[in-house]
């Protein structure tokens, strides 16, 4: 990792540097808003087949790099490959999101494997090996996994839900069983990330999309503690592993998150108060974010204003430009082009 950190802007920011032009990449930068993604997507029957096809997944990873010269290529896969590798049936209905065999009580946990089956995940590691030689030397290859709370919430509900009520209820009713599931996900995610580093990832991001629905006590127990354990387990094997945390919706609890989870940078969602983020978070840890994906979709002056105010708030410290959540499928490609031009152009002034 240290060998190439000098020429990769993202790794320099993760090491605490402020760059005059903040590196930029977007969550879900590979996806349905790109015509070339939709063309490749048609080549496989299911979304998981695409995730497990190293050649096609590598191609899809590289598409946004070619088009926009982003500073980071995020591995094309999904957080739900972990439940799949634990033996839970996972399917993606087009337009409806993921469907899993719901874990409706403690007994259903017995259907899962005791540890992740890496043979199922081998194609993901092969994808990384395919991407690596194709990347310009300045581009960081970012692996990822879902955080245990977020992955567990899909495993229990069997689908996306508004506020993850099924998982929150399960964790109150069957706390010991839920803790066991979280332990299993901590072990699985850590070994998955270690394999991603071994295959060639320069850094990884841990997505906790549903962190924001948890009350304070549960945020500590199901978001902070498991994520900190993953970071520790990964660094036991990969010392100095570069890790970005993204506890979406954490709000003021980000202070506690960065105090207790030694991530190298923290992702901000678009709802965060900018002065709080700059004074309380960015002074302690590099930050990444946080354009509202809807401002990107809207474009025009709304996009310009949103980009400028983010640069004004955060470009004075260690900062990675990103969205506050993923690119929406309806987003015009031209708006992404304008965004990249504006972020890079502002730095040139
Ligand atoms: O470009 C990238 O960011 C890399 C690829 C990536 C995908 N999913 C591809 C994908 C990443 C990093 C993810 C993470 C992911 N997956 C998260 C965490 C981040 C977030 O967005 O909140 C979550 C919660 C999931 C689970 C998931 N996968 C859902 C809820 C859905 C359906 C909703 C949707 O956005 O389509 C998916 C499907 C999915 N994952 C698609 C893509 C490109 C669309 C499927 C398709 O093209 O048919």
Q: Tell me: the pLDDT tens digits for 217-265? A: 999 999 999 999 999 999 999 999 999 999 999 999 999 999 999 999 9
Q: pLDDT digits over 190-219, tens only?
A: 999 999 999 999 999 999 999 999 999 999
Most ligand 1 atoms within 8 A of CB, residue of 149, 326, 327, 336 to mutate: 326
Choice among 154, 174, 192, 257 that is catalytic: 154
Supply angle C-alpha 192, 194, 198, rounded to 5.
Answer: 115
Q: Which residue has the tokens 């070619």?
A: 66
Is 78 labeled as catalytic in the residue annotation? yes
**Looking at residues 284-308, what average pLDDT do you find?**
98
Residues 185 and 68: their CA atoms lie apart, in Å, by 34
Question: Residue with the nearest Cα to atom 21 of ligand 1?
Answer: 326
For residue 118, count other CB atoms closer than 10 A to its CB.
14
Task: With beta carbons less than 8 A apart as the criterion, state whether 117 and 87 touch.
Answer: yes
* Nearest CA-CA partner of 142 in 338, 8, 287, 52: 8
Which residues have C-beta within 8 Å of that of residue 78, sequence separation ≥ 6?
Answer: 47, 48, 51
Task: With beta carbons less than 8 A apart as the criterion, state whether 200 and 140 touch.
Answer: no
pLDDT (0 to 100) of residue 302: 98
Question: Residue with the nearest Cα to atom 33 of ligand 1?
Answer: 97
**Statement: residue 6 has pLDDT above 90:** no
Distance 28 CA to ligand 1 centre (A): 7
Q: pLDDT digits over 23-61, tens only?
A: 999 999 999 999 999 999 999 999 999 999 999 999 999
* Nearest CA-CA partner of 210 in 219, 202, 199: 219
**Looking at residues 71-82, what average pLDDT do you find?**
98
Is 154 labeled as catalytic in the residue annotation? yes
Is 248 labeled as catalytic in the residue annotation? no
Residue 135, Ramachandran bin (φ over 0: left; ψ between -120 and 50: alpha; else beta): beta
């Amino acid at each position: 990792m240290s060998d190439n950190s000098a020429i990769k802007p993202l790794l320099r920011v993760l090491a605490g540097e402020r760059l005059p032009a903040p590196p930029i990449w977007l969550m879900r930068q590979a996806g349905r808003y790109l015509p070339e993604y939709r063309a490749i997507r048609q080549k496989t029957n299911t979304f998981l087949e695409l995730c497990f096809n190293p050649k096609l997944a590598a191609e899809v990873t590289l598409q946004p790099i070619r088009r926009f010269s982003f500073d980071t290529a995020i591995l094309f896969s999904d957080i739900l490959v972990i439940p799949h590798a634990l033996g839970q049936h996972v399917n993606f209905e087009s337009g409806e999101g993921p469907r899993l065999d719901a874990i409706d009580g403690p007994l259903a946990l017995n259907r899962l494997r005791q540890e992740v089956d890496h043979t199922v995940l081998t194609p993901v590691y092969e994808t990384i090996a395919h991407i690596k030689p194709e990347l310009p030397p300045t581009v960081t290859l970012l692996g990822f996994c879902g955080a245990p709370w977020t992955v567990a919430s899909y495993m229990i509900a069997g689908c996306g839900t508004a506020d993850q009520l099924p998982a929150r209820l399960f964790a109150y009713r069957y706390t010991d069983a839920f803790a066991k599931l979280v332990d299993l996900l901590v072990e699985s995610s850590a070994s998955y990330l270690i394999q991603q580093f071994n295959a060639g990832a320069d850094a990884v991001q841990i997505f906790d999309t549903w962190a924001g629905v948890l009350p304070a006590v549960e945020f500590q127990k199901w978001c902070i503690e498991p994520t900190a354990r993953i970071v520790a387990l990964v660094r036991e094997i990969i010392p100095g592993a570069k890790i970005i945390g993204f506890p979406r919706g954490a709000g003021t609890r980000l202070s506690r998150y960065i105090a207790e989870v030694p991530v190298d940078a923290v992702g901000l969602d678009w709802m965060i108060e900018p002065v709080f983020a700059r004074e309380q978070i960015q002074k302690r840890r590099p930050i990444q974010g946080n354009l509202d994906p809807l401002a990107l979709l809207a474009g025009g002056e709304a996009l310009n204003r949103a980009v400028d105010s983010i640069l004004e708030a955060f470009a004075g410290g260690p900062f990675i430009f990103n969205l506050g959540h993923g690119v929406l499928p309806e987003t015009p490609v031209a708006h992404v082009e304008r965004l990249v031009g504006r972020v890079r152009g502002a730095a040139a002034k």
